Structure 1
């Protein structure tokens, strides 16, 4: 198993890409610290993992909360003895309105959830990774704001693009000490959040058509890419913005 005895922290784990990562990592032997805002689906996921012979503990909280990042790292230390992998996946879209009409309070909420929380997570996670001799830090971003600009997503695109700069600096600062840091850039993915952006079948058909593969990703496909970055298979990959986008960034057909 590729993550045997590794300790992994996953935020936004109750649904979508985060849930798929949790199940995939558990199947590869990781011991998991899981976070999401809603306690019921989070606990159900942990129960499912334990029923299959895995190990998981949970902490339900908003990643934008001032203490959440450190609480999760402390839980990893208390439950399993440390931290080897962090998948910072939690995020939000915000209202789909043009930039000039975007409410300032909504802008700040999106930034707090998608970018500020990632910074606070890194500040808490890096010392724990260093204490174990290094590890893998992954931010889940998006192609929106990197290779694609979509209307109504000013805050989302800006916050997720900021993850790339943060990751590159962390990679440069901590690479010599054994920490790898990367950003995963999914294309259109069949998740609850994805369906917020494309709420009906016509919208989904349009999003599918933007991709070279003419379909959306399953969350499991994005989790497979996260596994590569988290595992020793990605041992020479750091500071990368890794597109897993079905060709949406290059497609013109």
Structure 2
């Protein structure tokens, strides 16, 4: 643990697996009290139990981030339990089936928008209200963007549209938070080795129509990058960071 983080509170959505789990574990190891948020109780409880065995302070809360009432209850719980929030990592997200736009079901579109965009709005909205009223005031919001916030993959219209929207949300919160000492940054991730990215190693469609396997990077590198963003003083901010597998087809894509 690092003494500088002792007592700081972080909330991670999508904490039950992948990037969220790795980041939550890393924050816990560096002295943060961490609220673990996700839709499934079992993986959250397992991570909280592992943390407790190491003397770390984790609170598991099942929450659907697309539900405004549930999100309000979540942040009320944070306020009652810890009295403040220093870092929000908006990580929860989902992808859709790799189909052309005319084949994408409207309900699937709406669900992806709800999870990837509305969920981030609801959590950021609640965090903003808490951060500007707490003492000492202020805090940090970190949004999980994507390489797709810059360049789309084939057949990813819903995911890509939401990640472009996250960039606008990040900029707006960064601007509106200035007078409240609330900073907001975005981490755009390419091919971290998680369950969600397993298909990359098997082969995914490329812009030229080919199917090709893509390299992956250790998810711990992402967690360490989020930790770096989180540990900055509020007088400094990583506005946008791109972290990716070095040889993935991003620069020069298309």
> TM-score, structure 1 length as denominator?
0.89
> 36, 39, 43: which is aligned to 2:38?
36
For 1:120 and 1:202, the matched residues in 2 are separated by 35
Residue in 2 aligned with 1:175? 178
Q: Secondary structure of 2:175's match?
A: helix
Deviations 1:54-82 (A, max 9, x none): 01111112211222322221121122121
Q: Secondary structure of 2:123's match?
A: helix
Between 1:98-107 and 1:228-237, the stretch displaced more is 228-237
Residue in 2 aligned with 1:242? 241
For 2:226 and 2:79, the matched residues in 1 are separated by 22
Q: Is 1:99 matched up with 2:101?
A: yes
Map 1:73-88 to 2 at 5 A: 73-88=75-90
Residue in 1 aligned with 2:14? 12
Deviations 1:29-52 (A, max 9, x none): 000111111100110000001111
> 22, 26, 29: which is aligned to 1:27?
29
Map 1:51-66 to 2 at 5 A: 51-66=53-68
Shift of 1:207: 4.3
Map 1:1-253 to 2 at 5 A: 1=2, 2-130=4-132, 131-132=134-135, 133-146=137-150, 148-195=151-198, 197-198=199-200, 201-203=202-204, 206-208=212-214, 215-232=215-232, 235-237=235-237, 240-247=239-246, 248=248, 249-250=250-251
Q: Secondary structure of 1:71's match?
A: helix
The runs of 5 or more residues in structure 2 that have no matched partner are 206-210
The runs of 5 or more residues in structure 1 that have no matched partner are 209-214
For 1:45 and 1:125, the matched residues in 2 are separated by 23
Shift of 1:233: 5.9
Contact preservation (8 Å) 1:21, 1:226:
yes
Contact preservation (8 Å) 2:149, 2:167:
no
Contact preservation (8 Å) 1:92, 1:113:
yes
Shift of 1:8: 0.5
Structure 1 residue runs of 4 or more that deviate by more than 4 Å after TM superposition? 202-205
Shift of 1:232: 2.0
Contact preservation (8 Å) 2:64, 2:71:
no
Deviations 1:6-33 (A, max 9, x none): 1001100010000001110001100011
For 1:21 and 1:174, the matched residues in 2 are separated by 24
CA distance 1:99–1:203, change in 2 (3 Å): closer
Q: Secondary structure of 2:60's match?
A: strand
> TM-score, structure 2 length as denominator?
0.89
CA distance 1:203–1:99, change in 2 (3 Å): closer
Count of residues in Structure 1 that have an aligned counterpart in Structure 2: 242
